[in-house]
Amino acid sequence: MAAAEFSGELPPVHFPPGFLWGAAAAAHQVEGGNIHNDWWAWEQAGRVKESSGRACEHWTRYPSDFDLAVSLNHRAHRFSVEWSRIEPKEGEWHDEPVQHYVEVVDALRKRNLEPIVTLHHFTTPQWIASQGGWNNPKIVDAFGRYVERVAKALKGRVRFWATINEPMVYVNMHYLEGIGPPGVRDLRQAFRVTEHMIQAHALAYKILHAHATPDMPAKVSIAMHAGFFVPCRPWHPLDRMVATLTDQVFNVAFIEAITEGRWIAPGIAKVRMPQAKGTLDYLGVNYYGRQFLRAGKGGPGQWVGQGCNLDHHTRQVTERTGMGWDVHPQTIYHILLRWKRLGLPMFILENGTWMDDDAARWRYIARHLYAVGRAMQAGANMLGYCVWSLMDNFEWAHGFGPRFGIIEVDYATQERRIRESGRKLGEVYRTNRLDPTP
Ligand code: IFM
């Protein structure tokens, strides 16, 4: 889709009635007091500049936070369950947090918000992290036991599940870049962790389906971070090769494993993984921006080649977010048309930005959403759209500086203030209609 297709002369896009409009968040980023996971231990060890601490106190404030979402015409909400609250020590199961999440789901349903439940969003209980975490094959069954508890407790209450949030970002961040626990930079471990995540997803899929009920059939996916890798020097064959290979490992391999039951093992040889075949009911897509890659000695943080800080891309990269990420709404259109070939419905489980200027945030959201609408006109079967995020929150290694919320949080007082971007998005959610934004 060419940039001109975003011009003001274009017609509005319309979304179907029942489209699941919402926002997303994750336990450790908003709840506060998640003291039994590896991120907490990492924070306490001073490996990041700020600790998640009380975060947004969403653990207790969720009812009023959901009221705000309703006031903005939301119809869905994505949140994650914190494994380390339910099993803070190996084999020591706590019912109270399980009951809490049942109440969270009931609070959503009472407000006509469709719950979308993530089971792993970057945090892992410290007890298993200290035994090697996702690098230890034992984690697959351990994860299964936890999922079993959650599935039983939420039986008949939840339709949409995301087993693992952005598995490949998790692997990148924690096992290649080393900016999250355990802070490893090792390609071999990165592959092993990926393999365990595929197995854990497949097991969770079976458990969630076993607990589904006829009136609440399970729809299970991962939340896939849809990377879009661009050769830094488009004319350079090695840069092109690096971009293609990274796409293969980052985007294609996990999806092929959970649809076809084939996985690229260390050494890039295909191996069969029959238990994972067909374990995807819809595709959850997270999209933020493109990444530019170039040939060079593969360093920590990349599967192959090197990342590029975009500084010299003054022509291709016309706008950047507060995180320094590229802004390129057309890409979400191409991504959706690419994955349409799976023949599955898709759901944007995350899209949004941190911009100092809220008008720029709205422009980012509106342009991406418009591209989603155009993709739907071109045949992409979309279930809904969740903006990241309902409110400002703890952005992992970056602490509380980045503000992704459509609702501002004053961390000193825990006051919430709806941003203008949130109100404008709420109007789209109410009317199912969006005009193009130049
Ligand atoms: O905050 C994160 C989230 O946890 C996973 N997806 C990307 C977001 C913004 O960086």
Pocket test for ligand 1, best of 222, 327, 396 (most atoms within 8 A of CB): 396
The residue whose CA has the least distance to atom 2 of ligand 1 is 395
Query: If you average pLDDT over each of 145-149, 268-272, 299-303, which comes out highest?
Result: 145-149
Query: What is the predicted pLDDT for the residue at 89?
Result: 98
Question: In this prediction, what percent of the chain has a pLDDT beyond 90?
Answer: 89
Atom of ligand 1 nearest to the CA of 396: 1
Q: What is the mean pLDDT of residues 413-435?
A: 98
| DSSP letter for each residue of 84-138 | HHH-SBTTB--HHHHHHHHHHHHHHHHTT-EEEEEEESS--BHHHHTTTGGGSTH
Given ligand 1 and candidates 37, 79, 169, 395, which is best to mutate, with the most ligand atoms within 8 Å of its CB? 395
The percent of residues in the chain predicted with pLDDT above 70, rounded, is 96
Q: What is the pLDDT of residue 303?
A: 81
Ligand 1 atom nearest the C-alpha of 121 is: 4
pLDDT at 310 over 80: no
Residue to mutate, 388, 390, 392, 398, ligand 1, most ligand atoms under 8 Å from C-beta: 388
Q: Of 36-45, 417-426, 429-438, which range is least confident?
A: 429-438
Tell me, what's the pLDDT at 299?
A: 61
pLDDT of residue 123: 99
Residue 64 Cα to ligand 1 middle (Å):
23
What is the pLDDT averaged over residues 6-34? 92
Q: What is the pLDDT of residues 55-98, one digit of tens each?
A: 999 999 999 999 999 999 999 999 999 999 999 999 999 999 99
- pLDDT score for 272: 87
pLDDT tens-digit map of 106-118:
999 999 999 999 9
For the chain, give the mean pLDDT.
Answer: 95
Q: Residue 27: name the closest of 153, 150, 209 by CA.
A: 150
Give 371-382 pLDDT, tens digit per residue: 999 999 999 999
pLDDT of residue 4: 47
Delineate the domains of the chain, giving CATH numbers in brackets. 3-434 (3.20.20.80)
How far, in Å, is the centroid of ligand 1 from the Cα of 351? 9
- For residue 79, the model assigns a pLDDT of 99
Q: Tell me how far apart the terminal alpha carbons of the chain are, to the nearest angstrom.
A: 15
166 annotated active-site: yes
Nearest CA to ligand 1 atom 9: 395
For residue 354, which atom of ligand 1 is closest to its CA?
A: 9
Residue 307: pLDDT band with limits 50, 70, 90: confident
pLDDT recorded at residue 271? 83
pLDDT the model gives residue 430? 98
Q: Hey, whose CA ends up nearest to atom 1 of ligand 1?
A: 395
Q: Which residues pair with 92 in a beta bridge?
A: 89
Sheet architecture: strand order including 229-231: 229-231, 291-294, 306-307
**Which pLDDT does position 102 carry in this prediction?**
99
What confidence category does residue 360 fall into, taking pLDDT thresholds of 50, 70 and 90? very high
pLDDT in tens, 169-184: 999 999 999 999 999 9
**3: closest CA among 288, 225, 334?**
334
Burial of 217 (0-12, 13-18, 19+ CB in 10 A): exposed
Nearest atom in ligand 1 to the alpha carbon of residue 395 is 1
**pLDDT band, residue 140 (cuts 50/70/90):** very high
Tell which one of 350, 351, 386, 389 to mutate to probe ligand 1, the residue whose CB is within 8 A of the most ligand atoms: 350
The contacts of residue 433 (CB under 8 Å, 6+ apart) are: 12, 13, 14, 15
Q: Which atom of ligand 1 is nearest to the CA of 404?
A: 9
H/E run at residue 39 = helix 38-44
* Gap from CA of 395 to ligand 1 centroid (Å): 7
Specify the pLDDT at position 298: 64
Q: What is the pLDDT of residue 309?
A: 77
Query: Is 437's pLDDT higher than 70?
Result: yes
Q: What is the 387 CA–ligand 1 centroid distance (Å)?
A: 11
Is residue 1 over pLDDT 60? no
**Tens digit of each residue's pLDDT (9 = 90 or more) over 222-279:** 999 999 999 999 999 999 999 999 999 999 999 999 999 998 865 566 788 999 999 9
Q: Residues lining ligand 1, CB < 6 A?
A: 26, 29, 166, 286, 350, 388, 395, 404
- CA of residue 270 to ligand 1 center, whole Å: 30
**Candidate list 43, 166, 256, 395, residue with the active-site label:** 166
Torsion angles phi and psi, residue 285, rounded to 5: -120, 130
User: Once rounded to an integer, what is the mean pLDDT over residues 391-418?
Assistant: 98
pLDDT score, position 308: 84
Residue-level pLDDT at 266: 57
Question: Could you tell me which of 293, 313, 425 has the C-alpha nearest to residue 368?
Answer: 425
Ligand 1 centroid, distance to 196 Cα (angstroms): 22
Distance 24 CA to ligand 1 centre (A): 10
Largest CA distance in the chain: 61
Determine the average pLDDT of the residues in 418-431: 98
